[in-house]
Chain A
Amino acid sequence: MSMAAEERSLRAPWVLTAPALMLFVGVLLIPLAMTVMLSFHDWGQYKGIEPVFILKNWHEIATDPYYAEMFWRTFRIAILTTLLTALLGAPEAYILNRMSGRWKSFFLLVILGPLLISVVARTLGWALLFGGNNGLVNKLLISLGLIGSPIPFMFTETGVVIALAHVMMPFMVLSVWAALQRLDPQIENAAMSLGAGPATIIRRIIMPQIMPGVLSGAIIVFSLSASAFATPAIIGGRRLKVAATLAYDEFLNTLNWPLGAAVATLLLASLVLIVVGSNALIERRYAEVFR
């Protein structure tokens, strides 16, 4: 190969990826960098945004307990949602995996269903079912005499967690499902022939092997829940703000863009840290299973 040809072949990957790379830089990296820069700008009720470099917004977030509470709430909701999807989704995937052909595809569709419907429509559905005194479920429970007053659902963390768990369930089920596909189809028979009962098989043989799937599902669910907007906005409303809805309000209601940008940047940075950190932990812990 001549020098020129060699040079050309070295350049080829760059040339070929250039369009996608430019799009990526143009629509993701540049706006992201601008948001980070925006968080250092000043803002006043009458003067608007001033392009200076100050730590005012960051200082406000660090000192005002309102922001600490709001971030804590955001991550509490995300953690509870993750736990709920793991507790329900892992068994769900296991049962689904044991079903025979036609039922399997039917129930897989049922589980994936939420992904096909707009989050807004789905969450409003939840509000109709559970919301206030006129919610169907509350009405039913009251008329059956099971409860005296309606269970609060709207504008509560419980409501947000339940609605989010429903939205996030497919990600957990699919992730555990993928882990189940890697299982040796004879593994349960092998354990059974050695004298293990059904509970022992699940606890000692199945669980440890699908745990990486549960954890990677958990990472997806956690990061999507912590940055979710539509569900907390509709169920939680103005009373129960999370990081995403707060950033939205700062941008569009208060018009304090720099403060909104600081909230958004902090959310992004902490999510990246959490996801990268737990991913590294999982990979180290389960190295032997995936070699």
Chain B
Amino acid sequence: MAYLELDRVAKQFGTQTVVDDFSLSVGKGEFISFLGPSGCGKTTTLQMIAGFLDPTRGAIRLEGKDLTAIHPAKRGLGIVFQSYALFPHMTAAENVAFGLEMRGVPRAERSERVRAALAMVGLAGYEDRHPRRMSGGQQQRVALARALVIKPSVLLLDEPLSNLDAKLREEMQIELRQIQRTVGTTTILVTHDQNEAMSLSDRIVVMSQGKIEQIGTPQETYERPASAFVSQFLGKTNDFAGTIDRTVAPTQLVAGSWRAPAPAGLGGPVTVSVRPERIGFGDTGLSAKIITRIFQGNHWLFQCDSECGPAIVIRQNDGKAQPAEGDAVRLTWRPEDMSVRVRAGA
């Protein structure tokens, strides 16, 4: 049974629809990411779960109970804000203790739980520091401890890592995942960073312009993008214009001089999506010319001009000789490495 359920939730500001027809069921203990560019409605959806905004339509249920009928202060959700929103006039320990105090937890138990929560996020010994005297990463940990110490039914993370530098962000990602696994709290993360979403979540909800584009595991959304938007947003991809040729038997999928048996159920003009790391150089296939070749340590990045438009190829640096700039090459890939969609508007 679904633990947290969003049922055709929509939010309108005036005439503008910010979130539309958002349905999702989250299992207990699951880590879900809302992924999308800014303005796609992911934060609005999170705020509706938190109760800071009321949905215009639809229902949000937690363990079968209507969540929208409960005041935000009574929902018992843990929230980590993008700005952390720590209380600057309180020490780290006082910040973490605040939620427990509001719940009337006795003093002795309170200080024990605060100490444990700060230790869990690696801040033992920082109890008496004020937030303004802590680094961004430390503040982030206090915010996480403050949200988790109340044993929330759902943990909501609103772009929690976006204010950290790249290296710290990576560290915090690993730590966040570990803490979430240990505590087992159902978690929803809002992010615009596809790497973050992929490395942290059990499932990703890809959003664009207020609508869900795809819900799936990180691998599914990467390997089998449901739409052009998803394939473009999650990592780099090559989109080639192709057609299904029914004049030959068996029917063939043709993109330039690359051809393969056509997948069933499709016809007419299509878009062939292939990830750059799945393309190899072969004797047959799409003919192309290498424009630039960039060495990136563990791999080579090739920008090519193919007969179906620009293409990017990534090859592992396995020590073998690679084609040089200006070389004429043939691009080839296995049929199972591509996803084929009917071309929109054609």
Contact = CB atoms under 8 A, between A and B. Distances in A.
B308 interface: no
A193 B133 CA distance: 24
A189 B73 contact: no
B211 to A, nearest CB: 26
Contacts of B99: 194-195
B: contact size bracket: 20 to 34
Contacts of A200: 102
B79 A196 contact: no
B148 to A, nearest CB: 12
Given A288-B132, A291-B132, A186 B98 contact: no
Contacts of B183: none
Given A189-B81, A194-B98, A208 B132 contact: no
Contacts of A195: 73-74, 76, 99, 102-103, 150
Given A208-B89, A289-B89, A291-B133, A192 B72 contact: yes
A135 to B, nearest CB: 45
A209 B90 CA distance: 10
Given A200-B102, A288-B89, A291-B133, A189 B50 contact: yes
Contacts of B102: 194-196, 200
A203 to B, nearest CB: 12
Contacts of A189: 50, 52, 72, 79, 81, 85
Contact of B89 (A185, A186, A194, A209): A209
B276 interface: no
Given A193-B50, A195-B73, A291 B78 contact: no
Contacts of A194: 73, 98-99, 102, 146, 150
A187 B74 CA distance: 17
A190 interface: yes
A288 B89 CA distance: 7
A208 B87 CA distance: 10
A248 B50 CA distance: 62
A86 to B, nearest CB: 18
Contacts of B98: 191, 194, 196, 204
Interface in A212-262: none
Nearest to A287: B130
A208 B75 CA distance: 26
B235 interface: no
A192 B79 CA distance: 10
Interface string B118-155: 00000000000010110000000000001100100000
Contacts of A288: 88-89, 130, 132-133
B78 A193 contact: yes
Contacts of A196: 73, 98, 102
A289 B79 CA distance: 23
Given A186-B81, A205-B87, A192 B133 contact: no
The residue in A185, A190, A205, A209 that gathers the most chain B C-beta atoms within 10 A of its C-beta is A190
A184 B50 contact: no
A209 B98 CA distance: 16
B132 A187 contact: no
26 contacts: A184-B81, A184-B84, A187-B85, A189-B50, A189-B72, A189-B85, A190-B79, A190-B86, A193-B50, A193-B75, A193-B78, A193-B79, A193-B147, A194-B98, A194-B99, A194-B102, A195-B103, A196-B102, A204-B98, A205-B87, A209-B87, A209-B89, A289-B89, A289-B130, A290-B132, A291-B132
Shortest 6 CB-CB contacts between residues of A and residues of B: A195-B102, A194-B99, A190-B85, A186-B85, A288-B130, A291-B132
Given A190-B86, A209-B87, 5 more contacts: A193-B78, A195-B76, A196-B73, A289-B130, A291-B133
